[in-house]
């Protein structure tokens, strides 16, 4: 869906990749960071390869090295514990223009983040580094050497109230019959601009309408849907 938030991420990612730099995209959970990043990368020219590194929680250096090797298509099991060779392989891979994406970067501890900094510092590096995650800016603050090399810091804002009705109606047709007033009330009391929360509300509302097709997506139905969001009012 074309939102101002998506446009902002796309512009920031495009600029950083053109500059072959490092970008950090951050915000609280549920504000669409990953979706926006995926869409921004999808819009890149096909000649720009994207390498996605899937990292575990608090990976040790061999685990992080293995994740990076896998992202570039190398045999991680045979290389991950041969540090010198693996580092040379990764340094060579980073010489080619492209994007290395690490989502959930908040999982990585400071010493391993500094390993990323060493790789990116190699003189011939041409690959851009895209770091994304909840609290990613706080994570990088614990690795100041890497943080100092970030070209672009991009904060993904929550949906503003003025965006809610239009965005939701683009998201799902069930919201076409809902009034602006009911949608804004629900956003103010429950979703608060968080798109992940709205996706949950949509699911519960859709299920309720399937059970009671004579109803509409009014405030009563929205309140019932929101009651399933949390055990705490």
Domain boundary pick from 155, 184, 203: 155
Question: Does one domain contain both 14 and 103?
Answer: yes
Instruction: Specify the DSSP class assigned to residue 6.
Output: H
Domain boundary pick from 133, 155, 177: 155
Reported as half-sphere exposure (CB side, CA atoms, 13 A), residue 205 has a value of 26
Query: What pLDDT, on the 0 to 100 scale, is given for residue 3?
Result: 64
Tell whether 131 is covered by a domain.
Answer: yes
Query: What pLDDT, on the 0 to 100 scale, is given for residue 34?
Result: 79
Tell whether 36 is covered by a domain.
Answer: yes
Question: Does one domain contain both 203 and 113?
Answer: no
Query: What pLDDT, on the 0 to 100 scale, is given for residue 123?
Result: 94
Question: Does one domain contain both 16 and 57?
Answer: yes
Domain that holds residue 16: 4-155
Question: Does one domain contain both 76 and 176?
Answer: no
Q: For the chain, percent helix, then strand, then coil, each to nearest 5?
A: 55, 10, 35
- Other CB atoms within 10 Å distance of the CB of residue 120: 18
Question: Does one domain contain both 208 and 118?
Answer: no
Question: Does one domain contain both 150 and 171?
Answer: no
Q: Residue for token digits 């045979």? A: 78
Tell whether 124 is covered by a domain.
Answer: yes
Question: Does one domain contain both 45 and 125?
Answer: yes
Q: How far apart are the C-alpha atoms of 125 and 187, rounded to whole Å?
A: 45
Q: How far apart are the C-alpha atoms of 126 and 105, rounded to whole Å?
A: 21
- Dihedral angle computed from the Cα positions of residues 167, 168, 172 and 174, in that order, rounded to the nearest 10 degrees: -140
**The whole model's pTM is what?**
0.79
Q: How far apart are the C-alpha atoms of 94 and 219, rounded to whole Å?
A: 53
- Other CB atoms within 10 Å distance of the CB of residue 211: 7
Q: Which residues of the chain have pLDDT under 70?
A: 1-5, 30-32, 80, 232-233
Question: Does one domain contain both 34 and 113?
Answer: yes
SS (H, E, C) 152-182: EEEECCCCCHHHHHHHHHHHCHHHHHCCHHH
Question: Does one domain contain both 139 and 187?
Answer: no
Tell whether 233 is covered by a domain.
Answer: no
Tell whether 77 is covered by a domain.
Answer: yes
Query: What pLDDT, on the 0 to 100 scale, is given for residue 223?
Result: 92
Reported as half-sphere exposure (CB side, CA atoms, 13 A), residue 105 has a value of 33
Q: How far apart are the C-alpha atoms of 38 and 220, rounded to whole Å?
A: 35
Total number of domains constituting the chain: 2
Q: Which CATH number does the domain housing residue 55 bear? A: 3.40.50.300
Tell whether 231 is covered by a domain.
Answer: no
Question: Does one domain contain both 150 and 168?
Answer: no
Tell whether 31 is covered by a domain.
Answer: yes
Tell whether 232 is covered by a domain.
Answer: no
């Amino acid at each position: 869906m074309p939102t101002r938030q998506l446009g902002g991420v796309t512009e920031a990612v495009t600029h950083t990749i053109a500059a072959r730099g490092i970008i950090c995209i951050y915000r609280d959970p549920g504000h669409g960071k990953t979706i926006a990043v995926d869409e921004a990368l999808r819009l890149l020219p096909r000649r720009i390869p994207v390498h996605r590194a899937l990292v575990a929680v608090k990976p040790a250096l061999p685990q992080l090295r293995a994740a990076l090797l896998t992202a570039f298509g190398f045999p991680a099991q045979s290389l991950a514990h041969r540090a010198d060779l693996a580092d040379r392989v990764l340094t060579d891979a980073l010489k080619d223009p492209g994007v290395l994406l690490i989502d959930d970067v908040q999982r990585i501890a400071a010493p391993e983040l500094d390993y990323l900094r060493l790789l990116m510092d190699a003189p011939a590096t041409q690959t851009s580094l895209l770091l994304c995650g909840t609290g990613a800016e706080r994570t990088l603050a614990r690795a100041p050497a890497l943080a100092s090399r970030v070209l672009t810091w991009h904060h993904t804002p929550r949906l503003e109230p003025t965006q809610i009705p239009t965005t939701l109606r683009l998201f799902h047709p069930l919201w076409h019959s809902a009034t602006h007033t009911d949608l804004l009330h629900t956003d103010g009391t429950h979703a608060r601009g968080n798109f992940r929360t709205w996706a949950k509300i949509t699911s519960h509302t859709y299920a309720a309408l399937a059970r009671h097709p004579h109803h509409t997506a009014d405030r009563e139905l929205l309140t019932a849907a929101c009651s399933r969001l949390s055990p705490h009012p």
